Amino acid sequence: MTINGQQSINRSSSGTNWSKRTENHYSAEISTSVSMTLFNRTTDTPPENRPLRVIFSIQHPAHVHLFRNAITDLREQGEKVEVYAREKEIVSDLLEQYDIDHEILAPQTESVLDLVKVELVYEYRLTKRARAFNPDVMVAMGGVAISRPGLLTRAKRLVFTDTEHATLQNTLAFPFATKICTPECYQDTIGKKQVYYRGYHELAYLHPDRFEPDPSVLAEADLDHDEPFVILRLVSWDALHDVGDSGFEDIVDVVHALEETGTTVRITSEADLPTEIEDRQVSIPPNRIHDLMAFADLYVGESATMATESAVLGTPAVFVSSSRRGYTDELEKEYGLVFTYSGQDRHKRGLQRALNILESNDPERWEHRREEMLNEKADTTDVITGMVRKMAR
């Protein structure tokens, strides 16, 4: 497989026997990574006289969605773009479904300790590839993985973030970033590196100029066209920014309460489900979930990203989590599309709000609120490509 003329390997976790990686193997790569010293970038051709060279680093399924249109746009415009990823959940599947050439540099992790080791290996491998590619800009969500590789290769580091409470991640990434792009609703002040934009990450791929929902997904999800349904999202709480957070107390209670309104429940979950509700798990291709969200009557869940995705699609969202986000708060206060419950009684209050919405649902009200939001926000993909070009030149 080639990426803009560069040889690369498109691997998934199933295609490589990562389980054979030994502790000694990891230690060897980590030691090499730590001992690396700065090496010079070559500038054989001035940037203005050649295509831009850009690396995107992907470490989560949400990052695929955030950057996929920017990657495609830049490649179609003749720029040289390489994409590297660490396997997590469905990262490989999504990249392949969107026909994005890429290389998986590190496997799925099984624990926090394992995450540290795998992250260091990922950074070492990314540094080697960046040295060969000589990028003008490296782009990532969160930014930890490109921090040291970007510094070592002297590439500019463009970081996107929208999560204020990701304290450890931000502490590790921000000092190394060249620019840090945040939505205007971001509640922390980062300093002179910070660049605000009018939008949300989710508008990089769900803006109406880039996405039109396909109703055939309803049949794939075993739903009738006129059948009311809720999407229920559960997270595993093992991501770096999720440590210490929690959501619902009893998910079986949530399912039964929602179903008592006559509404069908379709679950998408990172964690294993209790046996008695396993049959509610939705079975559709990962890249089809946004089609399904657009036709749902309600989103209920522990994922802030999916709550925002639902909101920008015009589906009301009940977000239940012990932590809050600037973007979900804005979608609640300014547009009335998200309802966040983060206190000790979040399970009870969030569930009650969900039941109230289902009992008095008014699709026209939600669509009106969505149009108001869209009129005030930008296509975030244009922000990404614009920032890449500005920094590269």
pLDDT in tens, 49-80: 789 999 999 998 999 999 999 999 999 999 99
Is the pLDDT assigned to residue 240 strictly greater than 50? no
**What are the Cα distances from residue 172, in Å, to 72, 90, 143, 148, 152?**
29, 25, 8, 10, 15
Domain ranges of the chain: 2-199+379-392, 217-376
Please give the CATH number for the structural domain made up of 2-199+379-392.
3.40.50.2000
Backbone angles phi, psi at 34, to 5 degrees: -65, -35
**264-287: pLDDT as tens digits:** 999 998 778 889 999 999 989 988
Stated pTM of the model? 0.83
Q: Give the dihedral sign, CA 284/289/293/295.
A: negative
In CATH, 217-376 is 3.90.79.10: no
Whole-angstrom Cα distance, residue 48 to residue 25?
42
CB 294 within 8 A of CB 213: yes
Q: Which two tokens stand for residue 262?
A: 């006559």
Q: Which residue has the higher pLDDT, 270 or 392?
A: 392
Is the pLDDT assigned to residue 243 strictly greater than 70? no
Whole-angstrom Cα distance, residue 22 to residue 304?
36
**Residue 236: predicted pLDDT:** 56
Is the pLDDT assigned to residue 370 strictly greater than 60? yes
- Band of the pLDDT at 39, cuts 50, 70, 90? very low
Q: Which two tokens stand for residue 190?
A: 């980062």
Is the pLDDT assigned to residue 84 strictly greater than 60? yes
Residue 360, number of CB atoms within 10 A of its CB: 8
Q: Write down the mean pLDDT value for the chain.
A: 85
**What are the Cα distances from residue 266, in Å, to 249, 291, 368?**
19, 13, 26
How many helices and strands, by DSSP H and E, does the chain display?
A: 14, 14
**Residue 165: predicted pLDDT:** 79
Cβ neighbourhood burial of 262 (10 Å; 0-12, 13-18, 19+): exposed
**Residue 247: predicted pLDDT:** 54
Task: Let me know if the fold of 2-199+379-392 is the same as that of 217-376.
Answer: yes
